[in-house]
Amino acid sequence: MLLSGKKILITGVANDWSMAWAIAKRAHDAGAEIAMPYAMPNLEKRVRPLAESIGAKFVQECNVQNDAQMDALFGAIEQEWGHLDGVLHAIAFSDKNELTGRYADTTRENFKNTMDISVYSLVDLTRRASKLMDTGGSIVALTYFGGEKSVPNYNVMGVAKSALDSSVRYLASDLGRDGIRVNAISAGPIMTLASSGVGGFKAMLRLNAEQTPLRRNMTLEDVSGAALYLFSDLSSAVTGEVHHVDCGYSSTGMIPNELKDILLKGLDDNK
Ligand code: NAD
């Protein structure tokens, strides 16, 4: 019961494929009480039964671009719990039409919207939550390697993840003196509602599994285990960190020999 008695706000549950749901369940199993809002009305029918299955509270609409809904969520948490120990930020959005083709073609409107939903929301959530973290706390965001290196089709979302990673470091620096830690998990690719919007995602998943040192893709079990560690006191000296849970993908610089041979043969056959 690593999280016994802890109160954790989990954002970003859309359905039972969501990484946030795997993390909510794992945190609940480890003894945490969970707050689980949803982003928009059409998600309620999927999120409410999941929330009920773990006794989660604050199952209310909270679009991070809607200040009144954010006020209402944090007002309700303050009134009923009066305290928070953890927050999971698992929120990202961009226009699907711009998650394919060239980053150079990103529109100003989608750039701003992507950054607002996917990055500023971490700043806003952290500021609001930190006021309730009177005995310290742990804030965990989900990020991706596409913020460190260019990844085909990830485009403006990659730029948003760079800003998210950087925000983690600045927020960690601001809040460390209050015992509040801020970290990100850089998760490997996994099929979810959000990732299905990235052009060519299925092919990317197949290739990724062949390229990682562990020769497989990350699972919900893997990512929720890392979140458990970051929410728990086991990670008490860890802050400002982007922790890769990607089967080692980000540590490599060249495709494995098996793939190299196949690729070169394919190129030769096509000559
Ligand atoms: P998901 O679709 O289950 O979760 C994304 C969530 O963002 C949804 O619950 C959605 O409701 C929420 N959201 C979007 N706009 C919102 C808004 N305006 N207000 C509040 N919430 C909003 O998919 P997921 O893959 O589990 O995504 C969770 C996080 O993990 C995202 O930050 C994503 O970028 C990141 N991530 C995903 C992958 C992957 O391959 N799936 C890899 C690394 C990181």
Atom index in ligand 1 nearest the CA of residue 12 equals: 9
Cα–Cα distance for residue pair 230/245, rounded to 1 Å: 12
Confirm or reject: Cβ of 132 under 6 Å from ligand 1.
no
Cα–Cα distance for residue pair 190/155, rounded to 1 Å: 18
Cα–Cα distance for residue pair 221/223, rounded to 1 Å: 6
Confirm or reject: Cβ of 39 under 6 Å from ligand 1.
yes
Q: Which of 38, 103, 154, 249 is catalytic?
A: 154
What pLDDT does residue 15 have? 98
To test the ligand 1 pocket, which listed residue (65, 93, 217) has its Cβ within 8 A of the most ligand atoms? 93
Has 170 been annotated as catalytic?
Answer: no
Whether residue 200 contacts residue 153, with contact meaning beta carbons closer than 8 Å, is answered with: yes
Confirm or reject: Cβ of 91 under 6 Å from ligand 1.
yes
Q: Mark the ranges of the chain whose per-residue pLDDT is less than 70.
A: none
Q: Which of 38, 144, 229, 249 is catalytic?
A: 144
Give the pLDDT confidence of 109-137 residue by residue, as tens digits. Answer: 999 999 999 999 999 999 999 999 999 99
What pLDDT does residue 271 have? 82
Confirm or reject: Cβ of 69 under 6 Å from ligand 1.
no
Which burial class, exposed, middle or buried, applies to 178 when counting CB atoms under 10 A from its CB (0-12, 13-18, 19+)? middle
Contacts of 109 (CB under 8 A, 6+ apart): none
Answer whether 0.95 is exceeded by the pTM.
Answer: yes
For residues 165, 27, 8 and 158, what is the CA-based torsion angle, rounded to 10 degrees?
Answer: 20
What pLDDT does residue 163 have? 99
What pLDDT does residue 253 have? 94
Ligand 1 centroid, distance to 195 Cα (angstroms):
8
Confirm or reject: Cβ of 217 under 6 Å from ligand 1.
no
15, 135, 25: which is closest to 86 by C-alpha? 135
| Distances 193 to 70, 124, 228 between C-alpha atoms, Å | 23, 24, 23
Confirm or reject: Cβ of 192 under 6 Å from ligand 1.
yes
What pLDDT does residue 126 have? 98
